[in-house]
Amino acid sequence: MFRFNKILVAIDGSEGAKKALRVAVELAKRFDAEIHSISVEEDLPHYAATVGEVVEAKHERNAYFDKVNQESVEFAAKEGVTLRTKVVAGHEVEKTVNYINERKFDLLVIGFMGHSKVFGRIWGSTSQTLTRLAPCTVMVVK
């Protein structure tokens, strides 16, 4: 039977990502798979004028994702699944694809619409691009 052993879910705190998490947790339970999440801080200021601007934005994003990931971990724990989280800065697609390559995930679960900023959007829809570039099976949850 076809199965998934390592699942990655992209989490950005949006409603779409929450739906994706619910499905990913369900799949992890069904296949007894490892489940990880990745959150990408893609809205740090580019071309900053002071280091402080970046540092403070990073602190703010870290605080945001701490909260989001805490809720996600608690949700997964309630379902009897251990969720391992990772937060990185950068471009959402690039970082997610690199992480999949690095950790050899066999399924990526993403929400249909995240909260991608304009800077990210100029590169195209995140879910579309991830579906095209991810080196594993991709599930887009609507």
Partner 1 sequence: MDNTYVALIMGLLILVASFISVEAAISVAIIEIAMGVIGGNFLGLQSTPWIDFLAGFGGILLTFLAGAETDPQLMKEKFKESFLIGGISFLAPFLLTFAYCYWVAGWSFKAAEIAGTALSTTSLAVVYAVLVETGLTETKIGKIIMASCFVTDFGTALLLSLLFAEENWLTLVFVFGSVVIIFLSPKVMSPILKRYGNRVIEPEIKFLFFLLFLFMYLGKIGASHAVLPVFILGLVLSNALRSNRDLQRKLRVIAFAMITPFFFIKGGMNVSLKEVYANFGILLVLFGVKMGAKVIGVYPIAKKYIPKSATYATLLMSTGLTFGTISSLYGLSAGFINASQFSVLVTVVILTAIVPTFIAQRWFQPNLVEESRVSVDPVKELSALNVIEQREGENV
Distance of closest approach, residue 54 Cβ to partner 1, in angstroms: 5
Residue 81 near residue 28 (C-beta atoms within 8 A):
yes
Distance of closest approach, residue 83 Cβ to partner 1, in angstroms: 8
Establish if 83 lies at the interface with partner 1 (CB under 8 A). Answer: yes
Residue 127 carries which side chain, given as an amino acid letter?
S
Residue 64 near residue 42 (C-beta atoms within 8 A):
no
Calculate ∠ Cα 42-82-37, nearest 5°.
15
Establish if 82 lies at the interface with partner 1 (CB under 8 A). Answer: yes
Establish if 103 lies at the interface with partner 1 (CB under 8 A). Answer: no
**Region from 2-10, 16-24, 62-70, 128-136 binding partner 1, contact rule CB under 8 A:** 62-70
Which of 11, 17, 27, 87 is the binder for partner 1 (CB under 8 A)? Answer: 87
Residue 137: name the closest of 99, 93, 106 by CA: 106
Residue 109 near residue 20 (C-beta atoms within 8 A):
yes
Which of 23, 88, 113, 136 is the binder for partner 1 (CB under 8 A)? Answer: 88
Establish if 49 lies at the interface with partner 1 (CB under 8 A). Answer: yes
**What is the Rg, in whole angstroms, of the alpha carbon atoms belonging to the chain?**
15
Q: Which one, 1 or 122, has the nearer CB to partner 1?
A: 122
What's the gap between Cα 119 and its chain centre? 18
Q: Which residues sit at the interface with partner 1, rule CB under 8 A?
A: 42-56, 58-59, 62, 65-66, 69, 73, 82-91, 102, 117-120
